[in-house]
Chain A
Amino acid sequence: MTSDHGNERGVSRRKVLECMTWAGTGVLWTVAGGVPSSMGIIGEARAAKPSGLTFLQISDSHVGFDKPANPNALGTLEEAVNKINALPVKPSFIIHTGDITHLSKPSEFDDADRIISQARLDVHYVPGEHDVLDEDVKLYRDRYGRGTKGAGWYSFDANGVHFIGLVNVVDLKAGGLGNLGNEQLEWLEDDLKGRAASTPIVVFAHIPLWSVYPAWGWGTEDAARALDYLKRFGSVTVLNGHIHQIMQKVEGNVTFHTAMSTAFPQPAPGAAPSPGPMKVADDKLRSVLGITDVVFKRGQQRLAIIDQPLQR
């Protein structure tokens, strides 16, 4: 990972994200110099042999969950890790967008670490609300908070892409949604200051930073301010979890995307009385759980985001 402020390849990094969706199977996002163009499905993306950066997103592993929607969330996390290990292009690192555990128990964190470490990759975490059930967020911060600010936010650079991990699951207000808070927003503004507008930005946080379905709390109260700081950048990708299903939206230069869970699905917005775990037929479960593969190709002006279910 390098800091890459000099920023020569300005034009090649002035990117806009595109996406295509294959409902329930995979999503492929491409960055293509501002011109919308669909990429092929997973096989083609693989064939393109990315020479830049490949990273992987997993989310909502809910280790410790054992209810009917998935009695073995640890097992499906392991299947997800096996899938990562079987990828033809090894990712540079993993982003975990929170809800690592179901109940913030030390044993659940231990189990999650034991399985995720089998991928033998660096993992960049942000917490979900299930990871901060202890009042002072100590369990999460002791494990994953080194070098982070506040409740665990931070940024880093890789291959010229600037990554920002945000925390929107603490200090939530009655009647509200996800919350970033003033301190974190000020940090974000400062973090982005002086960066070239051509720097591709990847923001990741647990709860969606766009208003997916406020009636279920699927949105972030003060995300607009964060997005305001990001609007001058030519390519912003926002990766979230929390809603346990693939969803995306493109707004100007900003692409929003949510990943599947590795533990259990949740209903589509408004499709059930509540957003609780959704029980699907046993033989369907692995088609609604999965991982997300992200490819940033230098020089080819392409970035692809591919959601892959554990099983088709």
Chain B
Amino acid sequence: MRTIKSRSRVATAFGVVLLVAAATFAARSAPATDAEVDIDQFTFLPQRITVKAGTTVTWINEDDVPHTVASSSKVFKSKALDTAGKFSFTFTTPGTYDYFCSLHPHMTGAVMVEAASGSNAAQ
């Protein structure tokens, strides 16, 4: 997966310079507090995660069967993630985001997004 991803990045860089520049700016402006959720044994781990607004959460499928990450209120939905497949979503608005695997709906999880202002004020 990593190889494919870096290859596609390289291809993008050569192909559409402007888009890459835009993406780079976006990445720089996001906080460096990205979070990861593993999908393992038909479970989201951690099942509930609390992040600051602006955090990008990445789900990684460690199982031998495909899973999806689907917001219960349809805010986000991944394609089917095969083994080692990843899906990322950046949470910009505070709130609770319940999600589930649309293939195995007994698999549920939640992302709690807190306002980023608190941490900014502390800085």
Are A and B bound to each other? yes
Residue A177 interfacial (CB < 8 Å) = yes
Considering only residues 23-81 of chain B, those with a C-beta below 8 Å from chain A are 41-43, 63-66, 70, 72, 79-80
Chain B residues, CB < 8 A from A129: 103-104
Q: How many whole Å from B102's CB to the nearest CB in chain A?
A: 6
Q: Which of A19-27, A84-92, A273-281, A282-290 contacts B (4 or more CB under 8 A)?
A: A273-281
Given A104-B80, A276-B41, A175:B105 Cβ within 8 A: yes
Residue B100 interfacial (CB < 8 Å) = yes
Q: How many whole Å from B105's CB to the nearest CB in chain A?
A: 4
Q: How many whole Å from B1's CB to the nearest CB in chain A?
A: 14
Interface of B is mostly: loop
Interface of A is mostly: loop
Query: Would you call B43 and A217 a contact (CB within 8 A)?
Result: no
Against A, the Cβ 8 Å flags (1 = close, 0 = not) of B90-123 are 0000000011101111111000000000000000
Q: How many whole Å from A63's CB to the nearest CB in chain B?
A: 14
- How far apart sit A68 and B83, CA to CA, in the bound complex (Å)? 12
Residue A102 interfacial (CB < 8 Å) = yes
Given A175-B106, A214-B106, A274:B66 Cβ within 8 A: no
Chain A residues, CB < 8 A from B72: 174
Q: How many whole Å from A312's CB to the nearest CB in chain B?
A: 27
Could you jot down 27 A-B contacts, CB within 8 Å?
A: A67-B64, A68-B64, A102-B65, A103-B66, A103-B80, A129-B104, A130-B103, A133-B79, A133-B80, A133-B103, A173-B105, A174-B99, A174-B105, A174-B108, A175-B100, A175-B108, A176-B106, A177-B105, A215-B106, A216-B42, A217-B106, A217-B107, A274-B63, A276-B41, A276-B42, A276-B63, A277-B65
Query: Would you call A274 and B64 a contact (CB within 8 A)?
Result: no
Count of chain B residues near A, Cβ 8 A: 23
Against B, the Cβ 8 Å flags (1 = close, 0 = not) of A51-74 are 000000000000000011100000
Given A69-B64, A276-B65, A103:B42 Cβ within 8 A: no
Chain A residues, CB < 8 A from B108: 174-175
Query: Would you call B103 and A172 a contact (CB within 8 A)?
Result: yes
Interface residues of A (CB under 8 A from B): 67-69, 102-104, 129-130, 133, 172-177, 214-217, 273-277
- How far apart sit A176 and B100, CA to CA, in the bound complex (Å)? 10
- How far apart sit A172 and B64, CA to CA, in the bound complex (Å)? 21
- How far apart sit A69 and B104, CA to CA, in the bound complex (Å)? 20
Chain B residues, CB < 8 A from A217: 104-107
Given A216-B42, A274-B41, A276-B63, A177:B106 Cβ within 8 A: yes
In the complex formed, the residue of A with least CB distance to B98 is A174
- How far apart sit A130 and B99, CA to CA, in the bound complex (Å)? 19
- How far apart sit A129 and B107, CA to CA, in the bound complex (Å)? 14
Contact of A277 among B43, B64, B103, B105 (CB under 8 A): B64
